[in-house]
Structure 1
Amino acid sequence: MAIFQTRALVLKTQDYKESDRLIWLYTEKLGKVSAIAKGAKKNRSKYFSNTLTFTYGDYILYRGKGMYTLNEGTIIDSFQGILSDFDTISYASYLCELIDISMAEEESNRELFKELVTAFYLMKNNACDLETLARVFEMNVLRATGYGLNLHKCSICKEPISSADYISIQYLGGVCIKCPKLNGMRVSPAAYNIIKYLNNLALEKSYRVTIPSNLKEEIEKLLGAIIAQSYIRKPKSLETLNFIKRSEKSE
């Protein structure tokens, strides 16, 4: 039996049997893991509060022949204040879902773990625009998983470029005026330059950026297409929020 102590954030949960709870953790040391918390559904359980979605804490896990089992958990921040705002809940769920679909089991990435926790503190403190935060986080995840964008050279011929009006989804980068525009999307030069800036921006500095709404939509569409192609499934956490926003615009 192996015992591990690590900081982690609860990505999602699922009820299991009569009183247990399955939890998916993104951990600092082990990467993404799933564990069973025995009796966690009971209100008086010592695992009830530290296995709620979005909870960040110190966890002790042990592993026998099968999956991990939660042995102990100490809350650092429950982030339950996020639940008071639907927009923030939606984006918090989206960041967790993005980690879930992009990271393999037990694939450790301490820097990405730090980025996820930082994003949650930024959301908790209403410190930045949620859409901008999500875009920077998306690009960090893409880069961490081998799908980072090359925006300083043509992704086809490798000639240096300062800007472009087309991004190849196949080759993950800008395309110069000489190369064929296939398997990608057209973007405005303004959107291209913002993407290039965000791609090198530290997550904790995302509050400094103000992006016009029309360019936000353009960038979201592009990164969404890259994410949908790169991972096993397309994230769905923002669908309801985006539907509401579209309905409000059409009224």
Structure 2
Amino acid sequence: MLVKSEGIVLREVKFEETNKILTIFSRKYGKITAMVRGALRPRSPLIASSQVFSYSDYNFYKGKSFYHVNQGDIIDSFYPIREDMNRLLYGAYLLELVDSSTVEGVPSEKLFELLKKGLKVLSSLNKDFLKFIIGFEIKYISFLGYRPYLNKCVLCGEDINDTLKFSISHGGVICERCFKLDPGSKKMDKNMLNYLKQLLYTSLDELDNIKIPKDVMIKIQDIMIKYILTNIEKNKFNSLDFMESIKKNGGL
């Protein structure tokens, strides 16, 4: 059966001498595994559309085990991501986020559009990478169905004053009276909460309007990463570990 869909390449693996097996997040069919025969040949018409990050219009033939790519018309290669180390590392993290939380054959229009927009914005980004990533993270986890409850105490429903924490296990902020109900909750203040709300509701291409101190962003992202890992049942992100190892060795 021949099918057609836009898609973004999340992963690529060499198979035999000239072929690739791709993990593609497609708009219509969700995450799929696809064979691209001859993708590594110098004159292959599928070279561009079989690269990681590539956003293309694909024609697939659905086989017994996986799809086969018959045609791939590139829409955007997001090539500038490959030209800068920060963009490349954070781009790899975006792909890992989506790959880690999606299952084969389950489409998500919202998540597809978020990834597409994220890669587009990242392609021209030269600063404020951490702010961009947190903005992506909170939208991403919300689209998965785990939007954090930020308006009132997630446990008792009371208004939040200046003393609050974030409960990873319950998915939202908690008031001082409920601290004892979740000893593992994370420290947070009203400023962090307000910044997190702004990042949730502001489009990725409008984040320049939000000014957040770097030390505050580091604290917020620490909470977001723990929250995401808990909800997608994952222990770590390899791309973030690699990023940290580069920082420790004087990079970035």
TM-score normalised by structure 1 residue count = 0.92
Q: Taking every aligned residue pair, what percent have the same amino acid on both sides? A: 27
Counterpart amino acid of residue 239 in structure 2: S
In structure 1, runs of 5+ residues without a counterpart are none
Question: What corresponds to 1:56 in structure 2?
Answer: 55
In the TM superposition, residue 135 of structure 1 has moved relative to its aligned partner by: 0.8
In the TM superposition, 1:175-194 aligns within 5 A as 175-179=174-178, 180=180, 181-194=182-195
How do residues 34-183 of structure 1 correspond to structure 2 at under 5 angstroms?
34-126=33-125, 129-161=128-160, 164-179=163-178, 180=180, 181-183=182-184
Instruction: Mark the CA change 1:57 to 1:159 in structure 2 (over 3 Å): closer, same or farther.
Output: same
Deviation sequence 1:17-75 (CA, Å, 0-9, x none): 22210111111111111111111122222222210111111111121222111110001
| Partners of 2:121 and 2:204 within 8 A in 1 | no
Name the counterpart of 1:230: 231
In 2, distance between residues paired with 1:124 and 1:94?
14
> Structure 2 vs 1, CA of residues 15 and 223 (structure 1 numbering), >3 Å: closer, same or farther?
same
Paired with 2:166 and 2:106, the residues of 1 have a C-alpha distance of 29
Partner Cα separation in structure 2 for residue 64 and residue 247 of structure 1: 46
Shift of residue 78, structure 1, vs aligned partner: 1.1
Paired with 1:14 and 1:79, the residues of 2 have a C-alpha distance of: 19
Q: 1 CA distance for matches of 2:163 and 2:138? A: 18
Q: CA deviation at 1:226?
A: 0.9
Contact 2:161 2:190 in 1 (8 A): no
The alignment's TM-score, normalised by the length of structure 2, stands at 0.91
Contact 2:80 2:124 in 1 (8 A): no
1:62–1:70 contact (8 Å) kept in structure 2:
yes
How many residues were matched structurally? 248
Contact 1:92 1:120 in 2 (8 A): yes
Q: Partner amino acid for 2:139?
A: N
Structure 1 pair 162/22, CA: closer, same or farther in 2 (3 Å)?
farther
Q: Is the 8 A contact 2:153 2:160 kept in 1?
A: yes
Unaligned 5+ segments in structure 2 are none
* Greater mean alpha carbon deviation, residues 68-77 or residues 58-67: 58-67
Give the residue type in structure 2 aligned to 1:186. Answer: K
- Deviation, 1:246, is 4.6
Aligned to 1:244: 246
Equivalent in the alignment of 2:212: 211
Q: What is the root-mean-square deviation of aligned Cα atoms in Å? A: 1.9
Tell me whether 187-196 or 32-41 shows the greater mean CA deviation: 187-196
Deviation at 1:127, TM superposition (A): 6.9
Distance, in Å, in 2 between the alignment partners of 1:172 and 1:122 is 28
SS at match of 1:105: coil
Aligned to 1:197: 198
Q: Secondary structure at the match of 1:145?
A: helix
Residues 128, 207 of structure 1: 8 Å contact kept: no
Alpha carbons 1:163, 1:193 under 8 Å: kept: no
Query: Is the contact between residue 15 and residue 21 of structure 1 (CA under 8 Å) also seen in structure 2?
Result: yes
User: Shift in Å at residue 13 of structure 1?
Assistant: 0.5
Please tell me whether the aligned partners of residues 162 and 189 of structure 2 are also in contact (alpha carbons under 8 angstroms): no
Deviation of 1:128 (Å): 6.1
